A and B are shown apart, each in its own frame.
Chain A
């Protein structure tokens, strides 16, 4: 532990027996952080804040929510109308889910662009993918709780996917539902799981942070920290930078909550669930649309389910699929181009997921799905054999101090 000196005798007494203050001093105050992080490194702390916001608003909502098919819809409307500032809590929670996903998706693409998943940070990345998976499960079950039309039909469509599993599929679906259709027992268990999973996420986030602090953050040029000249203490440099980032984030978030609270929702979810009436288009929440597009791109039901889960599963093994030892895209000219193609591909999949599964949309979905898997399964392992990477700088300090692009900093050094 660090040799932190505390003046307060109570703090001293406690810290001698339980070194919690030394721990915080070490991990939050002195924690050495690369000095060249850009704003894309703000999204990790933003995701953490989004998670805490969701948990706090969620606990308050659960105090006023009734998990029963006859009362769920009305209890949510009671929160909106009669609970003091209930509308604010619910709109924060509802939009918070979308913003949580926006932040986490940016965080993930940051990791992909700068090669943050590479050795020695493989487990850090894997824990992150696990968090994404848990978030998706939590968000899916949370969307069922208001018991609107999209809640009900979304739950029906997604749980039915498991019926594609050979032999035991139908039994698994019945087991998931706790009955023979999406009904009260389904709503009850989804509420229970929606409440508990965020705390599982907190646990995995703690592991994610432990793994992060083992080697520290990656950085935009992706080379290892060589010594103290390459780092800054987390506080005050990154606490203030994170605060500024949080201010920008909260301003945009507040604009959505206060002025466009239903923009990212679906109008049909303000109609109470009715098992006798199927909506014209059953569309999942926007953050699931790329995966929904992959599901529908495959003509076979089981195949679609496998590809959909495969699109997440492939993320777990990325650290071993990418054979290049160079982390940052800044020094990988071809990889960089394909990164933007992948991003465009994912946005396209999201768009296609919202479109009806017919005509040109099906063909485009298949092409986009094929590219998604091509990118990770073929391009990642083979590219290092073709690509000529740019020379890496000697250390982080050089390009940061000179302020020029890393490659020219290197050239500058060589000329001397």
Chain B
């Protein structure tokens, strides 16, 4: 009797593993599908296993953050020095940081203000959550450092939210200090529409449509949430190539070692 060809066994093994994995992943997908609001899926430069950030878009995004968002939203996990990763040089970063001031102690032990340095974290607009709530009618503008990772399908969600301000249907009552946004869970949001046509003037001449600004600030915030992403994907490709070679070599070594047993 002839032994079953080995590739058949491998095939069976792959089919079995795929079945188990797909059972597992389908349960995950179902559980993400619980949300009722669906938002447009955009083609981001940073999605996919080889995706990278678009530097020009990120820099425009920083401008949008600085001129529009930073009035209410902090980025406390980011340091000014981190901006080097999106293409700014030391002098630009120094100048950018120095527009803000931080508290420090002088030699006499008194609290004084000094200009922020590149090593400082982004200065938040409010000293604490309570102050932020009072200034915003009770709503707390969340810190944006991790916002893309802290929301399901974060990039698409944020872009949709920023462009989701539409006229409310007649039956919808809008309480004071609330705004209608078709993509926000519950549709009523405490944040007024932040992006208007030509809300910022881009240095590179790009037309500042709300859609463009939303895309740019999302690209910037996606980087802020995952500053390691480009390194991670690049390293991942090398690691996987190495592992594939190792696995293939060990497969043929295994075949050779087992050959006398299988063919006996």
Name A's B-contacting residues (CB within 8 A): 35, 39, 74, 77, 80-81, 87-88, 91, 102, 106, 232, 236-237, 240-241, 243-244, 247-248, 250-251, 254-255, 257-259, 261-264, 267-268, 270-271, 280-281, 283, 286, 289, 347, 350-351, 354-356, 401-404, 412
Contacts and interface: CB of A to CB of B under 8 A. Distances in A.
B contact patch SS: helix
Contact of B254 (A241, A258, A403): A241
Interface string B79-100: 0001000000000000000000
Contacts of B151: 267
Contact of A259 (B30, B146, B185, B236): B236
B257 interface: yes
Contacts of A232: 261
B17 to A, nearest CB: 9
A232 B264 CA distance: 13
B243 A402 contact: no
B203 interface: no
Contact of A268 (B23, B150, B250): B150
Interface string B11-40: 001000000100110011011001000000
Nearest to B49: A259
Given A267-B151, A270-B149, A258 B233 contact: yes
B255 to A, nearest CB: 9
A240 B249 CA distance: 11
Interface string B237-264: 1011001101100110110011001001
B243 A250 contact: yes
Nearest to A240: B254
Contacts of A271: 142, 146, 150
B228 interface: yes
A109 to B, nearest CB: 9
Given A250-B243, A271-B146, 18 more contacts: A39-B13, A77-B77, A77-B146, A81-B228, A237-B258, A240-B250, A244-B247, A244-B250, A255-B240, A258-B239, A267-B149, A280-B185, A286-B27, A350-B27, A354-B30, A356-B34, A403-B1, A403-B2
Interface in B58-83: 77, 82
A258 B227 contact: no
Contacts of A401: 264
A240 B253 CA distance: 7
A347 B264 CA distance: 41
Contacts of B261: 35, 232, 237
15 contacts: A87-B228, A243-B250, A244-B254, A247-B246, A251-B244, A254-B236, A258-B49, A258-B240, A262-B149, A267-B150, A267-B151, A268-B150, A271-B142, A354-B30, A355-B34
Contacts of B250: 240, 243-244, 247
B246 A88 contact: no
B173 interface: no
A254 B240 contact: yes
A258 B150 CA distance: 19
B45 interface: no
Contacts of A402: 1
Given A80-B228, A403-B3, A354 B27 contact: yes
A106 B1 contact: no
A355 B31 contact: yes
Interface string B179-199: 000000100000000000000
Contacts of A258: 49, 232-233, 235-237, 239-240
A74 B232 CA distance: 21
A412 B30 CA distance: 49
Nearest to B147: A270
Contacts of A77: 77, 145-146
Contact of A257 (B145, B185, B236, B244): B236
A221 B97 CA distance: 70
Interface in B143-167: 145-146, 149-152, 154
B169 to A, nearest CB: 23
A403 B264 CA distance: 11
A232 B2 CA distance: 21
A102 B24 contact: yes
A404 B3 CA distance: 7
B37 to A, nearest CB: 13
A240 B77 contact: no
Contact of B243 (A240, A251, A267): A251
Contact of B227 (A81, A289, A412): A81
Contacts of B257: 236-237, 240
Contacts of A255: 236, 240
A80 B224 CA distance: 11
